[in-house]
Amino acid sequence: MTNVSEIFGTMVFGDAEMKARLPEDIYLSIKKTIRDGRSLKLDVANVVANAMKEWAIEKGATHFTHWFQPMTGVTAEKHDSFISPCEEGKVLMEFSGKELVRGESDASSFPSGGLRATFEARGYTAWDPTSYAFVKDQVLYVPTAFCSWGGEALDEKTPLMRSMEALNKQALRVLHLFGNEDVTSIHTTVGPEQEYFLIDADMYSQRKDLMYTGRTLFGAKPSKGQELDDHYYGSIKPKVQAFMQELDEELWKLGVLAKTEHNEAAPAQHELAPIFSTANIATDHNQLTMEMMQKIARRHGMVCLLHEKPFEGVNGSGKHNNWALSTNTGVNLLEPGETPHENAQFLLFFCAVLKAVDEYQDLLRISAASAGNDHRLGGHEAPPNIISVFIGDELASILKSIEEETAYTAQEKTQMRIGVHVLPKFPKDTTDRNRTSPFAFTGNKFEFRMLGASASVAPPNVMLNTAVAEVLSEFADILEKSEDFQETLHQLIKTTITNHKRIIFNGNGYDTEWIKEAESRGLLNLPTTPDAYARFADAKNLALFTKHKVFNEQEITSRYRIGLGNYCKINLIEASTMVEMAKRELIPAICKYSKFLAESLYYKTQVSKHKSQKTYEKELMERLSLLCTDAFEKANEMEKAVQSIRAEKDVTWRASRVRDELCPAMEGLRAVIDEAETVTDRAFWPVPTYGDLLYGIC
C-alpha cells in the first residue's frame, strides 16, 4: 500500500530539501528571492545549483533541462548532461549557477507571430525560482520563462507572472486602505479541474482522425450515449482505476496536489481535480498532469484524449479554472464570511471582479478560444459563448439591497430535510450551482468554466489577473483621494453594482431566450475563434496590457497571429484528414458493401421464382450509391478548398474562410459519411465505431 506522506514531493527540490542542503544564509537568500521576486546573485545561484545537482544525481538524474511553455500548447525541453571532461579521460558532474538561472534556445523555431525571424534565432530561458525544480525520467527539470533576445515574451508563463505582479501591486493598494498593513503580498490561487477521455490503444491506432487530430472526424451516434446518466460518478472500471492509482502516485512524487478523481458524464470520460496552488505553479502542475496522463495511459493499454470534443453527441472536455485571491497572511479575499452584507472588503473585491469581467468579456472569451473549443461550447454541459456571472440568490439579494439602499435581511441557513432520521442533519447552502454559467461564484472563489481541456491555464489567468488589476487600480485611485473613506467606499460599491449588474445572470445559459436577453443587455456573443480574436487588439485592450506591462503592442499582435494561425492550421489538418479517410478508407468500404449487396441480389434473382422489383438489397444499394457519390463530390470540393485557403497569406482572411467555408463543408461531408455508416454492415466498416471506442474499456 502506498504511503502518500512518504512519497509526496520526493522528486521535488522543494523547501525542505533546500533547508536541509543549503547553508542558512543561502537558504534565507533564496527564500527572500522567492518571497520578494528579486533577482538572485550569481554566488548564491552557484551554491543552489551545486546542491540541486547533488540532490538530482541521488535521484538518478544524469541530465538537466530548462523546462518552458512556448505557445504551442505543450511544454518544451532540451536535455544537457551534467558531465564535464577532466584529466585522464574522466568526467566531473557539474552544474553552475549560470546554467541554473539562464539557458538559450532557438527562438525562431517556436511560434512567435512575427516577433522572431529565422535569422533572429536567439532566445533565452530564465529560471522561475517560485516553481520548484523536480526530477523526472532521470532528468532535472528547471521551470523557466522563455523570451526573445529583445525581451519579448515567447511563452505562456512570462505574461502570467507579469499579470500576477500587476494584480499584487494594485490589490495591496486597496488592502492597505482597509488598514491591513501586515499584508505584504497577494497572489492568485488556481485549481484547474482536468477532464479527459480514455480509450483502447489498439482502437486508437486504427483511426487516422484520432491519431492526427485528437478527435473523431466521423462517427455515427451509438445506440447508447450518456442518456441514462449512469457513468457520472459511477463505479470506476478496474483498468481505469489502475491508471488513476499510478497517475496519483507519479503526480504526488512531483508535488502535484492531485485530490479528486471520478467518472464524468460521458462514457469513457473522467476528471482529476487538484488542491489550489499559486497560479504559476498551478500552470506548471497542470502541464505535468496532462503529460503524465498521456504517458501513463499508454502503460495501461489506453490512450488519453485531451481534445475538447473527441466525440460528437456527448459531453466535451473542459478545464474549470477555479480562481481566488489570497494574502500572505492566509486570508482569502473572496471569502464572504458569515455576514457578507457587512463585509465591505469582500464586497469591494467581489465587485471588482464583476466589473472586470463585464468590461473585458472579450478577453476572457479570447482566452478560451480555439478550434477544438469551438466544437464544445454551447451544449452538453459546456457553457455558452456569452460571458455572464452566476452569483446565486443570496449575493444577488445583497447587491440589490445595496444598489437600492434598502435594508437586507440575512437568510437563515435551514436544515436539509431528507426524510430519513438516521441520516445526519446539515445546513442547506443559500445558493445552488449553475453548470451552464461560464463564470460562476462558488462560495469563496470564481470558477471560469469556458476553458478547453487541452489548453494551458495561463491565458485565462493572464486576462483575469490583468483585468482585475485595472479595476482595483481605479478603485484605489478613488479611495486614496477620498476625505470620507466609508462614504466613498459605499458609493463606489453601489455605483459598480448599478453599472455592471448586466453581467449577472443566474438562469439557464442554454435557453434561447437568454441569447436575446444578453443582446439587449449589450453583452458580447462571440461564437467562434475568429469572432473572438477580432477584438484582441481593440484600443481598450491595448491600453490595459501596456499600462500594466503584461504585453506590449508587438506581443499582442504576435498572439493574435498565433491564435488565428493555429485555428487555421488545425482545421486544415482536420479537413485534409477527412478527405484522406473518406477517399481511401470509408467510401471504398461502402463500395465493397454495395458490391456484396449486388452479388446477393444477383444470387436471389437467379434462384428465386418470384422476382420482385423491390428488394432490400436494391433499395440499400441505391441509397449507398447516392451517399457515395455525394461524399466523393464533397471530398473533392473540400480538397480544393484546402488548397485555396492554404494559399491565402493574410491570417485574418484565411481564418474567416476557414470559419465560413471550410467548417460547414466539413460538417457536410461528415453528415453524409455518418449516415452511410448507419446502413453499412459492421463487418465492412474499416474503423472502430463510437460504440467500440466509448465502451471498449472493460
pLDDT tens, 573-582?
A: 999 999 999 9
Residue 31 has pLDDT above 60, yes or no: yes
What pLDDT is attached to residue 382?
Answer: 80
What pLDDT is attached to residue 33?
Answer: 81
What pLDDT is attached to residue 610?
Answer: 58
**CA-to-CA distance for 96 and 109, rounded, in angstroms?**
27
Comparing 353-362, 497-506, 608-617, the range with the smallest average pLDDT is 608-617
Residue 150 has pLDDT above 80, yes or no: no
**Scanning the structure block, which residue is given the C-alpha cell 500572505?**
328
Residue 606 pLDDT class (50, 70, 90 cuts)? confident
Q: Which of 93-97, 225-229, 674-678 has the highest mean pLDDT?
A: 674-678
What's the rounded mean pLDDT across residues 123-152? 90
Q: What is the CA radius of gyration of the chain?
A: 28
CA-to-CA separations, 78 to 55, 64, 133, 142, in angstroms, rounded? 20, 8, 15, 11
Is the backbone of residue 96 left (phi > 0), alpha (psi -120 to 50) or beta?
Answer: beta
CA-to-CA separations, 567 to 436, 585, 619, in angstroms, rounded? 25, 26, 42
What pLDDT is attached to residue 425?
Answer: 52
**CA-to-CA distance for 436 and 449, rounded, in angstroms?**
9
Comparing 35-44, 65-74, 473-482, the range with the smallest average pLDDT is 35-44
Q: What are phi and psi of 439, to 5 degrees?
A: -145, 100
What pLDDT is attached to residue 109?
Answer: 76
Question: Nearest-5° angle of CA 403, CA 407, CA 412?
Answer: 110
What pLDDT is attached to residue 119?
Answer: 53
**CA-to-CA distance for 306 and 309, rounded, in angstroms?**
9
Residue 337 pLDDT class (50, 70, 90 cuts)? confident
What pLDDT is attached to residue 443?
Answer: 86
What pLDDT is attached to residue 408?
Answer: 73
Q: What are phi and psi of 200, to 5 degrees?
A: -65, 135
Residue 116: partners with Cβ closer than 8 Å, 6 or more residues away: 107, 108, 123, 148, 154
Per-residue model confidence as pLDDT tens digits over 211-242: 999 999 999 999 888 888 788 889 999 999 99
Bridge partners (DSSP) of residue 83 are 93
What pLDDT is attached to residue 426?
Answer: 45
What pLDDT is attached to residue 105?
Answer: 76
Work out the end-to-end distance of the chain between its first and last CA atoms, rounded to an integer number of angstroms. Answer: 24
Domains and CATH numbers, the chain: 4-155 (3.10.20.70), 163-215+257-404+431-550 (3.30.590.10), 567-694 (1.20.120.1560)
DSSP characters for 278-330? EHHHHHHHHHHHHHHHHHHHHHTTEEEE--S-SSTTS---BEEEEEEEEETTS
Residue 437 pLDDT class (50, 70, 90 cuts)? confident
Residue 321 has pLDDT above 60, yes or no: yes
Comparing 419-428, 595-604, 660-669, the range with the smallest average pLDDT is 419-428
Comparing 421-435, 461-475, 495-509, the range with the smallest average pLDDT is 421-435
Residue 420 has pLDDT above 70, yes or no: no
> Which carries the bigger pLDDT value, residue 482 or residue 34?
482
Residue 418 has pLDDT above 60, yes or no: no
Q: Does residue 166 contact residue 465 with C-beta atoms inside 8 Å?
A: yes
What angle in degrees, to the nearest 10, is found between the helix axes of 279-299 and 238-253?
Answer: 140
Comparing 29-33, 541-545, 611-615, the range with the smallest average pLDDT is 611-615
DSSP conformation class of 143: E
Percent of residues, the chain, with pLDDT higher than 70? 92
Residue 431 pLDDT class (50, 70, 90 cuts)? low
What pLDDT is attached to residue 91?
Answer: 84
**CA-to-CA distance for 279 and 23, rounded, in angstroms?**
29
Residue 73 has pLDDT above 50, yes or no: yes
Q: What pTM was estimated for this model as a whole?
A: 0.93
Q: Does residue 566 contact residue 370 with C-beta atoms inside 8 Å?
A: yes
Specify the amino acid at residue 539. Answer: A
Q: Is 581 strand, coil or helix?
A: helix
Percent of residues, the chain, with pLDDT higher than 90? 73
CB atoms within 10 A of CB 267: 25
